[in-house]
């Protein structure tokens, strides 16, 4: 039997607190093969984690792109999406509260209220402009990922005390991981 290897690299996910997670990311200036390879690595890293989204700053790249796939049902066809230089065109007045998590803040969850629906425009890996409206988990995830590109984390929506408790837990986790 011949085994085929598919080229991909799992990237390390930064853990909060990290100054790179607080930066406003720069627009992607060219949808180059390097951006394509980064997006492919990010999708593989997201599926492996597992997560439903991942933004470039979470893997230490301070550029405006994220990936997401909110198809969660077992056996359903995956729908990987790559959004480069995403912009929000419209948000609904109706809101939705979802218990969010973050791959950069492992095992911590909190309710965040956001618009239920968003319309976004972005560049695809084909270099062309795309536009679509998202709802349910897709809308929550797209807004969570866009926040990452602006240096904002879901814990920034919480009160000071809750945010401090989570941040201290993450500092402890990082110290433990560093000790090995
Ligand atoms: O950006 C990230 O850190 C990824 C994050 C995205 C997200 C989760 C929940 C609400 C909004 C955005 C995650 O994917 S956390 C993991 C997660 O939610 C999940 C993992 C496996 C199956 C289903 C969900
Ligand atoms: Zn996140």
**Is residue 131 annotated as part of the catalytic site, yes or no?**
no
Distance in Å, CA 3 to ligand 2 centroid: 35
Residues near 61 by beta carbon (within 8 Å), at least 6 away in sequence: 38
pLDDT of 4 = 44
What pLDDT is recorded for position 6?
Answer: 56
Which ligand is in closest contact with the Cα of 54?
A: 1
- The pTM of the full predicted model, rounded to 2 decimals, is 0.95
Spacing, Cα 14 to ligand 2 middle (Å) = 10
3-state secondary structure at position 173: helix
In whole angstroms, give the CA distance from residue 26 to residue 68.
19
Which portions of the chain are predicted below pLDDT 50?
A: 1-4
User: What's the CA gap between 33 and 126, in Å, rounded?
Assistant: 11
Q: How many angstroms separate the CA atoms of 163 and 144, rounded?
A: 16
């Amino acid at each position: 039997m011949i085994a085929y290897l598919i080229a991909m690299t799992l990237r390390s996910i930064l853990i909060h607190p990290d100054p790179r997670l607080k930066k406003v990311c720069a627009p992607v200036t060219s949808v180059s093969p390097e951006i394509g390879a980064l997006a492919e690595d990010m999708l593989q890293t997201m599926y492996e984690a597992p997560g439903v989204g991942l933004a470039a700053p979470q893997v230490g790249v301070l550029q405006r792109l994220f990936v997401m796939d909110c198809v969660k049902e077992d056996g359903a066809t995956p729908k990987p999406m790559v959004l480069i230089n995403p912009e929000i065109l419209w948000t609904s007045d109706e809101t939705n509260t979802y218990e969010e998590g973050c791959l950069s803040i492992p095992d911590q969850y909190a309710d965040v209220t956001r618009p239920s629906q968003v319309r976004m425009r972005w560049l695809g890996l084909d270099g062309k402009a795309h536009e679509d409206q998202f709802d349910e988990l897709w809308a929550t995830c797209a807004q969570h990922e866009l926040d990452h590109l602006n240096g904002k984390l879901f814990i920034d929506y919480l009160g000071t005390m809750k945010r401090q408790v989570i941040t201290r837990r993450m500092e402890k986790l990082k110290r433990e991981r560093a000790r090995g």
